[in-house]
Amino acid sequence: MGSKRKRKYQKQGKFNIQVARQCKIARSLMFGNKLEEAELLLISALSIEPKDTFVLVGLGDVKRRKKQFAAAIDHYQLCLAYDQTNRYALAGLGDAYRGNRNFDLAIKVWTKTVSIYPTCFQVITRLADALLKIGLLNKARDLYLKALKINPEDQFALSGLGNLYVRRRLYREARPLLKKLVEKQKNNPRALGALANYYRKQDMYEKAISIFERILSIDSYNVYALDGTADCARGLKKYALSITMWERAIEAGMNPVVAKTRIGDCYLQLGKMDQARECYGAVLSKTDYKYALFGQIKLLESETVNEESKLKSAAEIFNRLFDQESKDTRILYEYNTFKDRYPDIVSFYQPPGSSIST
């Protein structure tokens, strides 16, 4: 451990050289992804110094890396009970809440952290990422700019701000940020992914695929690159390639509900109705995912069954859709599109509170 920590604990009469050494070794093990060994060492250190904040943060970090977020939260909160402004515990606590997909609490913790440590660009960027995820684009932009003012080379702020500009279709503003990012991080999947997304959003699919391929040469299980390649291939109408890449993405950990639905959509485009039906059925046996239900509507339109049977089946699907989101504009659009082709659907189903336009 550093001399600053040693001076602090010697002054308080609390410094334990054995615990300090175990923390240092555990940190090295953790960064080497030897999480079990690191955890055992930290548990041993905790038995010597139960209130040592470095040990508690270390255990929180190990649990978070193991995706045991509830346990990580407990360790960070215990640390904060002894040291309310511990920067590492606050940052880690926000990370653990984010891992649990509790973005509101992550934002609350990181906002507090930034108010205590206004130059901590790492946490400023995390807060910006979270705000971007929930659609608060202006606040996110201001925080990315603040982080870059503190550290103009921060890769997370550069990629975050670049992606924000891409999302807003401000491609001229995004380009220099993403180019700078890739120049400094030539083999960094996050940097390359941000640049690939820049091209993908402009329908420059071949360029995007070439960059996603660079990422996959570094990390063949990179879900973002597998999904991105599949999406670009779909844009190029290379549906067989899309299917292959989304199947690989599922193996790598992509949400199977989303990926399987997209695979079904590709089979639909290829005219392979049985395979499409199988994909949508697998998804809908687990959840009423609206895009899989949209796929089923498309399948239904292609079937050569009598119209009454078709309309009854369509009515069941639209009922499931509107039960989820009665005012969803995409669902209304799909209903109206179907109604244009099959006007008699109104005899079998009409949306709740319906004054549906004809």
Average pLDDT rounded to a whole number, residues 81-86: 93
pLDDT at 247 over 90: yes
Going from N- to C-terminal start, the domains of the chain cover: 1-116
Radius of gyration of the chain (CA): 26
The per-residue pLDDT for 13 is: 39
Long-range residue pairs from 62-68, CB within 8 A, at least 24 positions apart, any chain? 62/26, 62/30, 62/35, 62/38, 63/39, 63/96, 64/92, 64/95, 64/96, 64/99, 65/30, 65/33, 65/35, 66/35, 67/99
- CB distance 326 to 349 below 8 Å: no
270: Cβ–Cβ under 8 A, 6 or more apart, which residues? 239, 240
Confidence tier at 32 by pLDDT (50, 70, 90): confident
pLDDT at 348 over 90: no
- CB distance 276 to 262 below 8 Å: no
Q: What is the mean pLDDT of the chain?
A: 89
The per-residue pLDDT for 61 is: 93
Express as a percent the part of the chain with pLDDT over 70: 94
pLDDT tens, position by position, 265-304: 999 999 999 999 999 999 999 999 999 999 999 998 888 7
Average pLDDT rounded to a whole number, residues 351-357: 62
The per-residue pLDDT for 353 is: 67
The CATH architecture that domain 1-116 belongs to is Alpha Horseshoe (1.25)
Confidence tier at 33 by pLDDT (50, 70, 90): confident
The per-residue pLDDT for 136 is: 93
The per-residue pLDDT for 354 is: 63
pLDDT tens, position by position, 111-124: 999 999 999 999 99
**Angle between helical axes of 223-235 and 239-252 (0-180°, round to 10):** 170
pLDDT tens, position by position, 88-145: 999 999 999 999 889 899 999 999 999 999 999 999 999 999 999 888 999 999 999 9
Confidence tier at 6 by pLDDT (50, 70, 90): very low
pLDDT at 3 over 70: no
Confidence tier at 12 by pLDDT (50, 70, 90): very low
Confidence tier at 183 by pLDDT (50, 70, 90): confident
- Measured in degrees and rounded to the nearest 5, phi and psi for residue 8 equal -60, -45
158: Cβ–Cβ under 8 A, 6 or more apart, which residues? 148, 177, 178, 180, 181, 191, 194
pLDDT at 1 over 50: no
